[in-house]
Amino acid sequence: MGYELSGFDGKVAVVTGAGRMRSIGRPIALALARAGCDVVLTGSGKPPAAFPEDERRAGWRDIESVADEIRSLGRRALPVVSDVRDAQAVETLGERVLAEFGRVDFVVNNAGSTRGSDRVPALDLPLAEWQRVLGTNLDGTFYMSRCFARHMVAGGRGGAIVNISSIAGRNLQPRTAAYATSKAAIDALGTVLAGELGASGIRVNSVAPGMIDTSRMDDLPRGEVWDRIVRSHIPLRRAGTGEDIAHMVVFLCSDQASWITGQTFYVDGGHGHAPRG
């Protein structure tokens, strides 16, 4: 028998930002379902006209499509349109999850701000862009963690929170003031929460992806430009996939990771180290 991760049967996972077809959230949700979890999926409820072109061609239905995939694996799925930037909406989500499933075991804070006009020098950064990015990335992670950790503590069964941050929080590149600050703060928040929640058996870790091939990166053309960036920045010579991140998330939720908390794991193909050969 091969080596298997354990600790998922009968468990309930909540994954935010899970509606995109080419993404990180969808593979995480599907991987947790394959491991044995029932899954709550949240998304922002954007209109189909705002979907990427390949999703429109495929008749994609956001979190409803992901929910169908999870049900096809024999697990329960609950898709909920919810805004992580709204503390009261998060509290309502928590109440609904408890009403539907009676428990929550894993929370994956994956919802993130879209790449927009925040990628400018800090002195030129509009306040609205700063607030948009911090509101989704940092406030949303805090609201979700606070709400669901309270339910985990009350349930007395422990659990795991996994925050999706970014190598941007380590690299701290120019023109990323809002994004890099939000991701560095997410890592800091996770470490603080790990210290506070450990006595209740709740583990908190961050996964920091590198360059992942998702629709979120579609403003960067695939082809020569994309390939040149990959070759010059990633020793493993390929961009990552949502599945690469999902594997780490599932491990951090498993029994086998029961003595790991307060850490940030960089899943980036070696990004930041000079390629060899």
Single pTM value for the model: 0.95
Catalytic residue annotation: 179
What pLDDT band is residue 223 in, cutting at 50, 70 and 90? Answer: confident
| 3-class DSSP string for 58-105 | HCCCCHHHHHHHHHHCCCCEEEEECCCCCHHHHHHHHHHHHHHHCCCC
CA–CA separation, 268 vs 245, rounded Å? 9
What pLDDT band is residue 215 in, cutting at 50, 70 and 90? Answer: confident
Task: Inform me whether the pLDDT recorded for 218 exceeds 80.
Answer: no
The pLDDT tens digits of the residues spanning 117-167 come to 899 999 999 999 999 999 999 999 999 999 999 999 999 999 999 999 999
What residues does each domain of the chain span? 12-267
The pLDDT tens digits of the residues spanning 79-89 come to 999 999 999 99
CA–CA separation, 80 vs 90, rounded Å? 11
- Quick check: helix, strand or coil at residue 239? coil
Assigned fold of 12-267: Rossmann fold (3.40.50)
Task: Inform me whether the pLDDT recorded for 178 exceeds 90.
Answer: yes
Q: What is the pLDDT of residue 277?
A: 46
Compare 3 and 80 and report the one with higher pLDDT: 80
- Quick check: helix, strand or coil at residue 244? helix
Task: Inform me whether the pLDDT recorded for 275 exceeds 60.
Answer: no
Q: What is the pLDDT of residue 219?
A: 77
Q: What is the pLDDT of residue 220?
A: 79
